[in-house]
Structure 1
Amino acid sequence: MDRIPGLSVRLKLTLSYAGFLMVAGVVLLAAMWISLLRSIHPSTVVIVRSRREALHDFGPTTALVLVFLLVFGLVGGWLLAGRMLAPLARITDATRTAASGSLSHRIRLPGRTDEFRELADSFDAMLAQLEAHVAEQQRFAANASHELRTPLAITQTLLDVARNDPDRDVDALVGRLHAVNVRAIELTEAMLLLSRADRRSFTRVRVDLSLLAEEATETLLPLAEKNGVTIEAAGDVAPTIGSHALLLQLSTNLVHNAIVHNQPEQGTVWVTTTVEPRAAVLTVENTGEKLAPHIVSALAEPFVRGTERIRNDQAGVGLGLAIAKSIARAHNGTLTLVPRAAGGLCVTVRLPAAPSQR
């Protein structure tokens, strides 16, 4: 944006310091002049003559003092303003560096805490978040490109084989193409949902995590029965503020993940909700294989799978936990993953508790 050139802040501060110093000097000299006049003898003739003599003696001295104050105010104000604005210059340089595309630079302003130090620390924190977000987006874009390329490559291969083999079974080809297309659609919808959660573009209402967990459990109960998994749901009313649709998606993803990453037979999923002083908590645990901590720490990353899916018809797209984590973060909450000692995973979501209704 083009702006009209103006005075620098340093020059404005310098003129302000000099101006205040001049005003203070004039007031001080005026007070001294009044005090001097009051000390003269009260005779009329003597008063007039004494005032003329005092003005003749005091005038040049006053002018010299004012000139000295002006020069001292300008020089001292310029140096003082430069010293005071030095941290702002460092912040400006860091801003220009960040604007050029380098997010790794940090101000790291030394000294005690003041307004400039708080601004610099806030800017460093913002740069750190931006750098992490950009790195995450780049990693996500690379993974998404790889995941989307797979179904497209399979489709291309099937079409090439069909074109070179006129006698190929059309029904089988259509079935394979349909399955690959469904997977591509699911992947695209999952990425759109993840992007929506990251933008935090949703309406916030009062929701109860226990009702959402119950709805997710009922929806996925046929899948659990098909896979021989028992779901045990219990808990307290856990109100929070957020998007009903997104929080339902979070609950559904966690329960679905607990079902498909379970034991081949006689697996169990525990879904509970609790209330803490300032948080509404949803916990989903499941039986399954023992997981190493370093594997669990990466499970919420996009397209990361800890183990192969037990059921091939529920392979998923590798975004279930990533979407759940993004939704929790969009609601100012947290999602933590902890491996169970007996095998399986414990996922805990903490969201800010809704204010009590009166």
Structure 2
Amino acid sequence: MDRRQPGLSVRLKLTLSYAGFLMLAGALLLVAVGVFLLRQGWLQTNEAGAVRVTPGTLFLRGFAPTAAVVVVFLLVFGLLGGWILAGRMLAPLDRITQATRTVAAGSLSHRIRMPGREDEFRELADAFDMMLAQLETHVAAQQRFAANASHELRTPLAISKALIDVARADPNHDTGELVDRLHTVNTRAIDLTEALLVLSRANQRSFAREQVDLSLVAEEAAETLHPLAGKHGVTLETSGDIAPTTGSPALLLQLTTNLVHNAIVHNLPQQGTIWVHTGVRPHTVVLTVENTGEQLTPQLVATLTEPFQRGTERIHSDQAGVGLGLAIVKTITEAHDGTLTLTARPAGGLRITVELPVASGG
């Protein structure tokens, strides 16, 4: 930490500035009065009659002492008044400082809530309160994510330990069945770990950018997941125009694959449909994935991009994933300076729209 030499407080600086300005103004006023008196000249009468005293002598004897007293008074008044005024002016800043120390001690829920009319200090306090609210939300989300990730990672490990304990207690247990179950559990743990790595990579924006056509990415994702769609009895349709954007081909393919996979496994039990469409707007390109399915409430839709949040069918599906699909989609979208919109379809199912900046010259 940079250790700086102690200096004057802002209040003292304002006090000295106010007092200095007041003394300067008073001194200029006294000088102006003195010059005026010197130019006009004064008459002094004694017993012998009227005698004209030289202006300089009269000035030194009469006006100068009075002027000195006035200057001293202005100095005292300026220091005292400046100290009081500076304290009143800096009171909001002191309140902000105290709030900062409280927050630094770990109380992110503290707010300044500056009263009074709108001014520079009020704007600073409101901006500080807004920053604290965002920081509190971010920290709470990170804490929930860490707790959920720990729980999700602990589950397959606990299952593996239980399977091994059972096999150890019963040497005659079918090892083939044990290996298959361990393989399934370990595969889920690996998938979760890889999803966490993708999420971390997207959050850090540590990827090279190049021009990508979202329509080709959508076709590749649809072709890859076509067998899974057939297994679930879901019809997968792709359409749209060339949609050039800039970003990571691997991450954008992950985004599209997650959307299509999510639309497949959370569809109707039979005769479901998925529509994948790409398009171009004046300044953006759009990828829309829409699927049939159960009726979803706006409250549920609003939580689907939270890590480890699952809808009504996710827990029971053998293709439920690790609960990070839409969270990864959201993170990748934000890392590419895009926007993600989730809307419940009136007829049931979900419409997800990803809007990304169009590539230059696209």
Is TM more than 0.5 here?
A: yes
Match of 2:353 among 345, 348, 354: 348
1:260/1:310 contact within 8 Å kept: no
Structure 2 residue aligned with 1:233, among 238, 248, 263? 238
- Uncovered stretches (5+) of structure 1, i.e. residues with no partner: none
The 5-angstrom pairing of residues 76-225 of structure 1 reads: 76-203=81-208, 207-225=212-230
Structure 2 Cα separation of the partners of residues 248 and 126 of structure 1 = 34
Moved more, 314-323 or 259-268: 259-268
Helix, strand or coil: the match of 1:283? Answer: strand
SS of the counterpart of 2:19? Answer: helix
Is 1:34 the counterpart of 2:32 in the alignment?
A: no
Provide Cα deviations, 1:125-179, integer angstroms capped at 9, x if missing partner.
1111111111112222222222112101110011111112222333332222122
* RMSD over equivalenced CA pairs, Å: 2.7
Distance 1:81 1:169, change over 3 A: same
State the alpha-carbon separation in 2 of the partners of residues 33 and 207 from structure 1. Answer: 82
Consecutive unaligned residues in structure 2, runs of 5 or more: 43-50
The Cα shift of 1:6 comes to 2.1
Alpha-carbon contact 1:279-1:350 (below 8 Å) kept: yes
Q: Confirm or deny that 1:5 pairs with 2:6.
A: yes
Instruction: From the superposition, tell whether residues 4 and 221 of structure 1 become closer, same or farther in structure 2 (CA, over 3 Å).
Output: same
67-76 vs 23-32, greater mean Cα deviation = 23-32
Alignment partners' CA distance in 1, 2:338 and 2:359: 15
- Tell me by how many angstroms 1:26 deviates: 2.3
What TM-score does the superposition give when structure 1 sets the normalisation length?
0.88
Distance across 2 between alignment mates of 1:282 and 1:268: 17
What SS does the aligned partner of 2:303 have?
coil
Residue correspondence of structure 1 range 320-331 to structure 2 within 5 A: 320-331=325-336
1:71 Cα offset (Å) = 1.3
The one-letter amino acid of 1:218's match is E
**TM-score normalized by the length of structure 2:** 0.87
Q: Matched residue pairs, number?
A: 353
Deviation at 1:218, TM superposition (A): 3.2
In 2: Cα distance, 1:279 partner to 1:337 partner: 18
Q: CA deviation at 1:22?
A: 1.8
Please say which of residues 212-221 and 72-81 is displaced more in the overlay.
Answer: 212-221
Aligned amino acid, residue 15 of structure 1: L
CA distance in 2, matches of 1:321, 1:157: 31
User: Given residue 246 of structure 1, which amino acid in structure 2 is its aligned partner?
Assistant: L
1:321 to partner: Cα distance: 1.0
The 1:123–1:277 alpha-carbon spacing in structure 2 relative to 1, beyond 3 Å, is farther
Residue 282 (str. 1) matches residue 287 (str. 2): yes
Query: 2:267 matched to 1:267?
Result: no
Write the distance in 2 (CA, Å) between the matches of 1:108 and 1:267: 52
1:15 aligns with 2:10: no
Q: What SS class does the counterpart of residue 300 from structure 1 fall into?
A: coil
Question: Would you say the 8 A contact 1:261–1:310 is kept in 2?
Answer: no
Give the Cα separation in 1 of the matches to 2:38 and 2:209.
Answer: 75
